[in-house]
Amino acid sequence: MKYSEIAQMTNAEIKKLLAEEKMNLTKLRFQNAVASLENPASIRQSSKDIARLLTEINKRRHQEVKA
């Protein structure tokens, strides 16, 4: 997911997607612990998506404070 896609979403959509990504990351980590994943890079990608979502949430929070 690209940052430009996230920037166009509403706050509710971002929060919903963040919850889904966190659940996905937990599942991936569990699957990796039990048996190796076909694509271990998916854990890194999921973590980066979560970071992008949190970055946008914090950016919007700071814009609200300044306004």
CATH label of the domain that carries residue 24? 1.10.287.310
Structural domains of the chain, count: 1
Q: Which residues, other chains included, contact 52 with Cβ-Cβ below 8 Å and sequence gap of 6+?
A: 1, 3, 6
Q: Is the pLDDT of residue 64 over 90?
A: no
The pLDDT value given to residue 1: 84
**Residue 18 banded pLDDT, cuts 50, 70, 90:** very high
Q: What is the pTM for the complete model shown?
A: 0.91
Mean pLDDT of all residues in 13-31:
97
**Residues 6+ positions from 62 with CB-CB distance below 8 Å:** none
Domain hosting 15: range is 3-66
